[in-house]
Amino acid sequence: MAKEKKAGNAAEKRIEGKGSSGSNGEVHAGNGDELHQVSGGSHAMLTTNQGIPISDNQNSLRANTRGPTLLEDFVLREKITHFDHERIPERIVHARGTAVHGYFELTDSLAQYTTAKLLTEVGEKTPVFTRFSTVAGGAGSVDTPRDVRGFAVKFYTKEGNWDLVGNNIPVFFIQDAIKFPDLVHAVKMEPDRGFPQSATAHDTFWDFISLMPESMHMVMWIMSDRTIPRSLRMIEGFGVHSFRLINDAGESTFVKFHWRPKLGLQSTIWDEAVKIAGADPDFHRRDLFEAIEKGNFPEWEFAVQLFTQEQSEKFPFDHLDATKLIPEELVPLKVIGRMVLDRWPDNFFAETEQAAYCPANIVPGIDFSNDPLLQGRLFSYLDTQLLRLGSPNFNQIPVNAPKCPFANLQRDGKMQMMQPKGRVNYEPNSLSQDAPRETPAIGFRSAGVTENGEKGRIRAESFADHYSQARQFYRSQTSHEQAHIASALVFELSKVAHAHVREAMVAHLRHIEEDLAQRVADGLALDTLPNAPAAAAPVQDMAPSPALQIIGKMKNTLEGRAIGILIADGSDGAVIAKLQKAATDAGAKVKIVAPKVGGAKLADGSMLEADGQLAGTPSVMFDAIAVILSAEGATLLAGESAAIEFVQNAFGHLKAIAFDEGGQVLLQKTNIEKDRGVVDAGDPAGFIAAARTRQWEREPSVRMLA
């Protein structure tokens, strides 16, 4: 019987040689025959992880041509086993993440307050790896849900790694880490049904929150536009907790850390965020990738709030309470440096997915406060990484390893990737002069703080005020932002099936602002306002803080923003070119959208290539749009729902729209009337001016707000 021919052309092409390919893709030295011409290119020899050359990567080893596969096929077993283990357990929270390499540069020394070199050596550039994330959803969820965004920075300093692990919101839901499992269980998918994914609009979350008055400040933040950002490049970052800085004299100063985006803050409209999720689930990740690829490196200012124990005792709140912030008007921000993110990871899994952040990773000159939420995090993060990455040696993974020399006497354990030498693996010892030893003069020292009082499970009375800062936050917003908060509460609570939970939340809102409670009650069709619950402490009227706004802080710029121009056959190339130039000169990215991905033939007969096809590139992908059409193109697109929605959504999402004569036909088809944001394409400067912001005065005419 003739032997059957092996399937596939690749199986017939043999690659010979003695080199091997390492796990990082580098070819290890062999006899010089490692690289051979295969199908017109040079390729490394394919081997097993043990360096054994593979002769056939297309067929399993069988007892005969149609027989069972043999257990002795080590090539198959290694390949399948590795595939089976390619995924590690995802993070319980912050699973959906995107990370980038970059550097931190100090511009103003804090030598008066700390010995930490990265905060004292002006001009020093410290490598960083920064990970942004959502909180509630799994790794496969979308980028744009209403959710807190994680903002974690790993500084590879000369004194070891410092992980500043925070969020884009300066406060948190709870005061004590013992409640964190309950919070996450409540916000995650309901256990009996497995949904909703990455959403707070369900019963278990609001049931828990309604029973936790301490969460009311955070509720104002998550219902605000802060949790539906336009871009990861346009979010703030906060260390959340108070930390300590320690100077040469051993004196400590409290500090809070802040990141401020160079591009300023910008958020989406809720309806827009929902539609972006359908159009591009990776919207934020793609936006960050494309910006870095084009050299538009995201940048943040690094600022601190510094205050003493004596100053903190005069605050009308307890700074150790993670549900409180320190208003900038009370303790101004001091900008001391900047962070630039300029390099995308080479491999998403090896770096972004395996990166292990832990707030317990600090360097000499920085120390912890007694914030009970922070104290619990110091344990939780390390414990999580041990489970996720499977070994206490996870710090040896390149993305987690310090870039400065490090040495200790820890040994063995699964996935030990180093080769410790010598007889000694303990300290003190007298058998080795080379073994690492403690260095009291420059080693890490904790702040010399006196603790007294009786131990017990009780919170300080200074943590009892749950509503004052929530009231301050709401009253600090513009009228548009207040309406968005009220509308978000109505939407979320309308998804709650239990009436008593809805009523309990409205009752809490009465302590924050009576008008807010009434607006939400009206939106939920409550006939009467429920009685407010007893407050554990008097609710204070704190002065409004404009720094808490988004709209009031938006920068008048198009840098980092995107403009879409809708064209079709016969469009005027000269008008398109003028708009492109004006937008590009203003710092915006311009994309051409056409009915066909190949582009369109312009009025002068030339072809203009499209960046996106109309049906797959809706206007939610842009900050402003232009509609440049011939009469024939307008007639064609007037019967295309994707074109109608392109214009309707842009108008409904309060974006600037430029149009020519043909474009006006499409606007008329959608019953759009001209306002300050609907501009003739013959006025590029007017269009650019309108595109720098949303047309907030338009909002009452396009949607019902609470």
Q: Output the CA–CA distances (angstroms, integers) from residue 249 to 113, 122, 445, in the order listed.
A: 9, 21, 12
Q: Give the amino acid at 375.
A: Q
Angle between helices 270-279 and 641-652 (to 10 degrees): 140
- Look at residues 597, 509, 437, 493 and name the one whose alpha carbon lies nearest to residue 203: 493
Structure tokens at 144: 């744009």
The secondary structure of 163-230 as a DSSP string is EEEEESSS--S-SSGGGHHHHHHHHS-BTTTTB-SS---SHHHHHHHHT-GGGHHHHHHHTSGGGSBS
Residues contacting 559, CB < 8 A, separation 6+: 263, 586, 587, 588
Q: Where would I find the beta strands (DSSP E) of 16-96?
A: 20-21, 27-28, 36-38, 41-43
Q: How far apart are the first and last CA of the chain?
A: 81
Q: Output the CA–CA distances (angstroms, integers) from residue 680 to 73, 584, 659, in the order listed.
A: 70, 18, 5
Angle between helices 372-389 and 180-187 (to 10 degrees): 60
Catalytic status, residue 24: no
Name the phi and psi angles at 591, rounded to 5: -125, 140
Structure tokens at 159: 């004194």
Contact (Cβ atoms closer than 8 angstroms) between residue 340 and residue 298: yes
- Look at residues 53, 14, 17 and name the one whose alpha carbon lies nearest to residue 35: 17
DSSP for residue 692: T
Structure tokens at 247: 């100077």
Neighbours of 704 (CB within 10 A): 8
Separate counts of helices (H) and strands (E) for the chain = 18, 22
Q: Give the amino acid at 534.
A: A
Pairing type for strands 589-594 and 562-566 reads: parallel
Structure tokens at 580: 């492109």
Structure tokens at 205: 């979350």
| Selected catalytic residue, list 94, 258, 466, 653 | 94
The stretches of 58-137 forming alpha helices (DSSP H) are: 74-84
Determine which helix (DSSP H) or strand (DSSP E) holds 100, and give its type and residue range: strand 97-106
Determine which helix (DSSP H) or strand (DSSP E) holds 97, and give its type and residue range: strand 97-106
Distance CA 57, CA 75 (A): 8
> Three-class SS of residue 24?
coil
Determine which helix (DSSP H) or strand (DSSP E) holds 492, and give its type and residue range: helix 479-494
Task: Give the angle 131-134-139 at the CA atoms, nearest 5°.
Answer: 85
Q: Output the CA–CA distances (angstroms, integers) from residue 38 to 42, 47, 201, 689, in the order listed.
A: 6, 16, 56, 56
Half-sphere exposure of 669 (CA within 13 A, CB side): 21
Contact (Cβ atoms closer than 8 angstroms) between residue 615 and residue 647: no
Catalytic status, residue 531: no
Q: Where would I find the beta strands (DSSP E) of 518-638?
A: 562-566, 589-594, 600-601, 607-608, 612-613, 624-627
| Selected catalytic residue, list 101, 161, 167, 649 | 167
Give the 3-state DSSP-derived string for 301-329, with helices as H, strands as E and coil as C: EEEEEEECHHHHCCCCCCCCCCCCCCCCC
Provide the annotated active-site residues.
94, 167
